[in-house]
């Protein structure tokens, strides 16, 4: 039976998961059923033999740039946003373990009474022990998005690819929810994504991925099995390559 199992293209990946993906139909916070679905998907993907790290955002609780708009100093607002990512990481850690897969949350913002501080060695050790590693706290610095954090962690951990989970099934010429004539790219280069201002990830993330020759798979997280499907090439997605 094992010989007929689908074979993923990558052996180690970083999944970039937005905070908004965890709120499901809610306007903020965590939607229990959605968190459980995504956790089961991550556990299933790990079952393919892929080593998985997850960089999670915090936009379902707080986004630094929104806080800056409300009069909070940007560096301080970003720090609040980093704390929001830790809340999401802890919730996801619990949900993944409830799905039967070992997981560990590591934070770039040290808070050892809550979860383990991030280090490259600790993350690699957990990956080698077949644990899903949830990477919270962004880069640990203000002014950097969690997209950039995901590519940074991919480079540090020698990941084969970054999987950018979104609400649409790839990168489009325009927002498909607003422009019915928008078309989806099958393949792009990092330079094309930057020059065409395709905002699925920020420019710093694309540039870091380009410089480290890390592919990015952009896919929809909206359905059950999305991560596993993207890993084995069964889901619609856009592949962004060096």
pLDDT in tens, 162-194: 999 998 999 999 888 889 899 999 999 999 999
Phi, psi (deg, nearest 5) at residue 215:
-65, 150
Whether the per-residue pLDDT at 1 is higher than 50: the answer is: no
Confidence category of residue 28, pLDDT binned at 50, 70, 90: very high
Mean pLDDT, range 194-207, rounded to an integer: 92
Domains delineated in the chain: 2-241 (3.40.1160.10)
Confidence category of residue 5, pLDDT binned at 50, 70, 90: low
Q: What does the pLDDT read at residue 177? A: 84
Confidence category of residue 105, pLDDT binned at 50, 70, 90: very high
| Unique residue bearing structure tokens 């020698």 | 158
- What count of other Cβ atoms lies within 10 Å of the Cβ of residue 175? 10
pLDDT in tens, 116-165: 999 999 999 999 999 999 999 999 999 999 999 999 999 999 999 999 99
- Assign 241 to helix, strand or coil: strand
Q: What is the reported pTM?
A: 0.94
- Kindly give, in sequence order, each residue whose CB lies less than 8 Å from that of residue 97, ignoring residues fewer than 6 positions away: 103
pLDDT in tens, 31-62: 999 999 999 999 999 999 999 999 999 999 99
């Amino acid at each position: 039976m094992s010989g007929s199992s689908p074979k993923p293209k990558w052996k180690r990946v970083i999944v970039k998961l937005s905070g908004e993906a965890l709120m499901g139909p809610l306007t903020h916070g965590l939607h229990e059923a959605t968190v459980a679905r995504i956790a089961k998907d991550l556990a299933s993907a790990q079952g393919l033999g892929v080593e998985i790290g997850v960089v999670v955002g915090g936009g379902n609780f707080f986004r630094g740039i929104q806080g800056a708009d409300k009069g909070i100093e940007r560096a301080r607002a970003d720090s609040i946003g980093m704390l929001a990512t830790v809340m999401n990481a802890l919730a996801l850690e619990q949900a993944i373990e409830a799905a039967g897969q070992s997981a560990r949350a590591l934070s770039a913002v040290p808070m050892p009474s809550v979860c383990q501080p991030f280090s490259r060695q600790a993350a690699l050790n957990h990956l080698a022990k077949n644990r899903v590693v949830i990477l919270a706290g962004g880069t640990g610095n203000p002014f950097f998005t969690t997209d950039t954090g995901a590519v940074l962690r991919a480079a540090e951990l020698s990941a084969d690819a970054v999987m950018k989970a979104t609400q649409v099934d790839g990168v489009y010429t325009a927002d498909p929810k607003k422009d019915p004539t928008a078309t989806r790219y099958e393949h792009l280069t990092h330079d094309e994504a930057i020059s065409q201002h395709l905002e699925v990830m920020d420019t710093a993330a694309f540039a870091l991925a380009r410089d480290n020759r890390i592919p990015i798979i952009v896919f929809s997280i909206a359905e059950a099995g999305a991560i596993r499907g993207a890993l084995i090439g069964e889901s619609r997605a856009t592949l962004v390559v060096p």
